[in-house]
């Protein structure tokens, strides 16, 4: 997240609000202007929240990151986050229901993460964690051990590789997706505090 000069926020025309670049090591870099980032927070944008709460922080100047995280935590809208993740795993659910044990390992973890994120929001009405193993509190020790083994296998396998996923893990994801589908109407729809967002933004650009 970066901040422009104050005058650029006061002009008649909107300025560019994103940057993209490539490092010398061929790593993709991107950034969001403070105003764009704050507007994403007002919508509890799940993609931005995932970046905001990443345990990996490359550059952190001042206390803006801490303030944005607190703003996100205090104004999270469960229904927005839930439906973002729930809609992302619908296609995988069809594959799981067909009972096919062989699945692209990357696709399985994608299906698992999105369903677990939605389930976390369903149960705790809070922003889901970025670190995968924090989801283990949602299920038993047996599944946790199986997932640890699969994580090790993933590290040694090409992401496009197809592997035999343990049926117990397939059942775990199916069970979670079914719970999400059955309970989706109970997810709270809490709007954020518009004044709090505005105050944060104005204080940061001054």
Q: What average pLDDT does range 156-177 have in this prediction?
A: 83
Between CA 170 and CA 168 the distance in angstroms is 5
Q: What average pLDDT does range 57-66 have in this prediction?
A: 92
Q: Give pTM, 2 decimals.
A: 0.89
Phi, psi (deg, nearest 5) at residue 163: -130, 160
DSSP state string for 178-203: HHHHHHGGGS------HHHHHHHHHH
Higher-confidence position of 165 and 129 = 129
Largest separation between any pair of C-alpha atoms in the chain: 59
Sign of CA dihedral 197, 198, 203, 206: positive
Between CA 131 and CA 54 the distance in angstroms is 8
Q: Within a 10 A sphere around the Cβ of 195, how many other Cβ atoms?
A: 8
Higher-confidence position of 102 and 124 = 124
Domain ranges in the chain are: 6-77+191-205, 78-183
Quick one: tokens of 62? Answer: 């001042």
- Distance from chain centroid for Cα 11: 33
Residues ≥6 apart with Cβ < 8 Å to 204: 3, 34, 64, 67
Kindly report the CA angle at 23 between 17 and 24, in degrees rounded to 5? 155
> Which one, of 78, 58, 35, 49, lies nearest residue 197 by Cα?
35
What is the pLDDT of the chain when averaged over all its residues?
90
Residue 49 banded pLDDT, cuts 50, 70, 90: very high
Q: Whose structure tokens read 């986050």?
A: 81
pLDDT tens sequence across 104-122:
788 889 999 999 999 999 9
> Is the per-residue pLDDT at 96 higher than 80?
no
**Per-residue model confidence (pLDDT) at position 107:** 85
CA distances from 11 to 6, 78, 113, 144, 201 (A): 9, 35, 42, 53, 16
């Amino acid at each position: 997240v970066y901040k422009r000069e104050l005058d650029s926020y006061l002009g008649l025309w909107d300025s560019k609000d994103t940057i993209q670049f490539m490092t010398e090591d061929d790593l993709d870099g991107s950034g969001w202007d403070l105003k764009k980032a704050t507007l994403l927070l007002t919508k509890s944008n799940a993609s931005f929240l995932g970046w905001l709460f990443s345990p990996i922080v490359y550059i952190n100047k001042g206390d803006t990151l801490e303030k944005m995280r607190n703003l996100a935590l205090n104004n999270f809208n469960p229904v927005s986050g839930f439906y973002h993740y729930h809609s992302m795993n619908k296609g995988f659910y069809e594959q799981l229901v067909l009972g096919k044990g062989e699945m692209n390992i990357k696709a399985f973890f994608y299906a698992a993460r999105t369903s677990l994120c939605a389930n976390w929001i369903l149960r705790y009405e809070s922003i889901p964690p970025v670190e995968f193993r924090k989801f283990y509190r949602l299920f038993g020790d047996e599944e946790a051990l199986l997932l640890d083994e699969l994580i090790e296998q993933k590290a040694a396998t090409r992401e496009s590789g197809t592997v035999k996923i343990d049926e117990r893990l397939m059942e775990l994801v199916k069970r979670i997706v079914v719970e999400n589908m059955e309970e989706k109407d109970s997810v709270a729809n809490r709007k954020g505090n518009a004044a709090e967002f505005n105050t944060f933004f104005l204080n940061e650009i001054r």
